[in-house]
Copies of this chain bind each other. A is one copy, B any other.
Amino acid sequence: MAIVLGPNRYGKAETRLVRVSRDGDTHSLADFNVSVSLSGDLAETHLTGDNSGVLPTDTMKNTVYAFAKKHGVGEPEEFALLLARHFVATQEQVFAARVSIESIAWERLGPHSFQRKGDYTRLASIVVTDEFEQVVSGLTGLVLLNSTASEFHGFPRDEYTTLPETTDRILATAVDARWRHLSASTDFTKSYAGAVEAMTSAFVNTYSYSLQQTLLSMGSQVLSQRPEIAEIRLALPNKHHYLVDLSPFDLANDNEVFIAGDRPYGLIEGTVTRDDAPPAAAEWYL
């Protein structure tokens, strides 16, 4: 038996980049949080501290800023591809580069004035090797709520089950979603906007008997409207809204007054996919 080094990678996480583009007096803004991670022939630094293959993470940071100037940034998927291709192409000992970007949205208030949108965060996560390029897009923190049109009943009851059945409840969730593209050449602006719109309208328009049913509806809607997307993963916390018992105060509560709970929460996770989609080339995560 021997103790051996297994899979490993390293990089620079959370390089904060704000890129201003000036079209005369009218400015536009990209606000990215960029994380780079490289893997390849990197055992030596673990084994002996020989760093001859270890491009400094400080250099990755510099590259983010230099590339933002030289090439502009575009959509997060595009900037991530640009960076990932660079590291694989220029560092012989690097076989795979993963670049993940959080993109913070700003709303225009004037030619050079902006207000940050805090509703949710757009995500992109790219893996590039010599053999393939895999593009995953996503978002986190999109909170949606239906104040009715949600039921939950017909579930099995064991000795620890006390939950009453309900035919009218609040259904709320904070959408965390990632979707894998079929190709690295896509109109990512249009694709992202379309995926968000598909998810949101599916949530709004599904009369729901379980959050699982809503999840499948959201995922299916994205795939049916966006042919460029191979599969989608959704993690939907069930943000419970508990009906307050007002009977001690001689008050009825017809689904009007709720406690918004923090913990615990239900958590529904699922993948929706095309049955003919090629398998993922690299691990991807929700």
Name A's B-contacting residues (CB within 8 A). 1-22, 27, 29, 31, 33, 35, 37, 42, 45-59, 61-63, 65-66, 68-70, 90-91, 106, 109-110, 112-120, 141-149, 151-163, 170, 200, 203-205, 208-210, 212-213, 215-216, 219-220, 223-224, 231, 237-238, 241, 244, 246, 248-249, 251-253, 255-276
Contacts and interface: CB of A to CB of B under 8 A. Distances in A.
Given A58-B163, A115-B200, A269-B37, A3 B224 contact: yes
A5 B141 contact: no
Number of copies: 4
Contacts of A154: 50-52
Nearest to A55: B156
A222 to B, nearest CB: 9
Nearest to A268: B10
Contacts of A33: 263
A209 to B, nearest CB: 3
A17 B260 contact: yes
A152 B152 CA distance: 38
A279 to B, nearest CB: 11
Contact of A210 (B37, B49, B147): B49
Given A8-B270, A56-B163, A66-B249, 19 more contacts: A3-B223, A3-B273, A4-B275, A5-B273, A10-B267, A13-B237, A14-B263, A15-B264, A17-B258, A42-B212, A49-B213, A54-B155, A57-B267, A69-B251, A69-B257, A113-B144, A116-B144, A159-B249, A162-B248
Contacts of A149: 112
Given A45-B213, A256-B21, A263-B16, A5 B270 contact: yes
Contacts of A275: 1-4
Given A4-B273, A109-B144, A271-B7, A16 B48 contact: no
Contacts of A263: 13-16, 33, 262
A78 to B, nearest CB: 17
A167 to B, nearest CB: 12
B116 A31 contact: no
A241 B17 CA distance: 9
B48 A213 contact: yes
Contacts of A148: 27, 112
